[in-house]
Chain A
């Protein structure tokens, strides 16, 4: 029998708790599963994440988790000395916490990206923006999914 997600998550959680107690106590990011936290810390490092600036546009209730439209934008003048370097999107309950990393530069003009994502369950989506001064800003959105992605069997 393959490892279930629950087993994997609890294993990942115990590893994180044992290996990274200072990080976890430093700044808990709400009550999110360990894999999400680890994935975020892989990008952000020890830096503090502030809330704001980032806007996520995603339907609060989706019928089909296989394709969920999502737009993320960051309030930024996008000038040579004040622009958005990247946007990182994470989820809470898919088999893998990453959704996508999007990289910008001043010639982007506008820090905004749209795509379509998969959501395996009703969960939280987190978007984190890295600005040119290396500060991090985040926003979270809760999405209710009635038909999950990724779980059906292939015929």
Chain B
């Protein structure tokens, strides 16, 4: 399921600090809500997000039920070389999703 929106500048000058914005589609069910008849809705959240830049981890996050549905994350990195950003979301019930974006550094 390609359910992620990634915003990375397509080109950057070497040494620039660039912003990376990611949004992925996920219910982020907290596990604290009940249905009308009183049964607990089981937790279903994304627990971990990782961003790698040409294979090197540049940002990582542990997420908890207090993160809103469809987790949005924005963070920064230094544009060092042309290449690829890889994004990975891991969650409950074996959820795993990946996305990637490329950048040209001049």
The chain A residues found within 8 Å of chain B, CB to CB, are: 2, 66-68, 71, 91, 94-96, 98-105, 107-110, 112-119, 149-155
- Chain B positions within 8 Å of A112 at CB level: 75-76
- Chain B positions within 8 Å of A113 at CB level: 59, 61, 73-75
Q: Is the CB of B74 within 8 A of A98?
A: no
In the complex, A103→B48 CA distance in Å?
A: 11
Given contacts A95-B65, A103-B59, is CB(A153)–CB(B75) below 8 Å? no
Question: What is the size, in residues, of chain B's interface with A at 8 Å between Cβ atoms?
Answer: 35
A-B contact count (CB 8 A): 112
Kindly name the residue among A98, A100, A113 whose own CB sees the greatest number of chain B CB atoms within 10 A.
A100
The chain B residues found within 8 Å of chain A, CB to CB, are: 17-18, 30, 32-36, 38, 40-41, 53, 56-69, 71-78, 80
Q: Is the CB of B66 within 8 A of A155?
A: no
Q: Is the CB of B41 within 8 A of A99?
A: no
In the complex, A101→B73 CA distance in Å?
A: 12
Q: Is the CB of A114 within 8 A of B17?
A: no
- Chain B positions within 8 Å of A103 at CB level: 59-61
Kindly name the residue among B17, B57, B69, B75 whose own CB sees the greatest number of chain A CB atoms within 10 A.
B75
